[in-house]
Amino acid sequence: MSFTIRQFDHHERLCDKLKALRKAANFTVGEMQEKTKIHKGLIRLLEAGAWDKLPDPIYTRNFLKGYLHALGTQDTYYLNLFEEERGTCDFVKQARLPRQRARAHRFLVASRFLKTAALVLGALSIVTYLGFQVRSIVRPPVLVIAEPSDGIVTHDATIQVTGEVEKDSQVKINGSDVLLTTSGDFDVEVALERGLNVIKIESVKRYSRPSIVYRRVVLEQDGQVSLAPRVDK
């Protein structure tokens, strides 16, 4: 296949003109990458006139158009200059082999990856935050019973049940609502029956799971009742 090679006039090279246009617009290579979405490595190759290292002419022309449009410059003159400088040879200069197909990764700009990563991280942060909020809402409130201790034996017909609970919680003892102080404390007198009594203290917040504590109290009157398991002889 025949081809022509033209000697370049290095004082009027296209690459020099491109670089001069960019500098006149006061743009850095990185800023041109942002404006054109062309990888800065390809921009440097354009400004170096390294046509043999750039992708096929159809891609290079598109890069050149995007570059010129970002600078607000008409592209006809510069595209014609590109065709004149490059000539009609579509072979790689060193190996004289057909040009390799341009790899997709050369067209990708790092900023796109950064934007995608930022969006993914933002979405994960929102999901994590919502997850913590849901767990906080449905978590059972903290319920602390000060008295009585579990398994206590008494001869009194009543016993005081005291404790404290988280703010904005509700407390029930054996199914009856309990009045709380502003700090979340409660002190309730519970009537006992002869023998073993199981007192159920339940606390719940809106939408939360309940927090339940049991206290076993033995009332001894006219006899004795033990919490120990019965052993048959």
- The 10s digit of each residue's pLDDT in 80-99 is 888 888 764 444 444 444 55
Give all strands of the β-sheet with 158-165 in edge-to-edge order. 143-147, 158-165, 185-191
Residue in this structure with the two tokens 């008409």, named with its chain if needed: 74
- CATH code at position 148: 2.60.40.10
Digit-coded pLDDT (tens) for 184-203 = 899 999 999 999 999 999 99
- Judged against a pLDDT cut of 90, whether residue 218 lies above it is answered with yes
**Residue 131, in any domain of the structure:** no
Residue 156: domain span: 143-219
- CATH code at position 46: 1.10.260.40
In contact, 51 and 15? CB cutoff 8 Å: no
**Residue 127, in any domain of the structure:** no
Cα–Cα dist 225/231, whole Å: 14
Q: Which residues contact 208 (CB under 8 A, 6 or more apart)?
A: 137, 138, 139, 140, 141
Above pLDDT 90, what percent of the chain?
26
The stretch 46-75 carries a mean pLDDT of 87
- Kindly state the helix (H) or strand (E) to which residue 14 belongs, with its residue range: helix 14-24
99, 158: one domain:
no
**Residue 122, in any domain of the structure:** no
**Domain tally, the chain:** 2
In contact, 79 and 61? CB cutoff 8 Å: yes
pTM summary value: 0.41
Query: pLDDT grade, residue 100 (50/70/90)?
Result: low
**Residue 201, in any domain of the structure:** yes
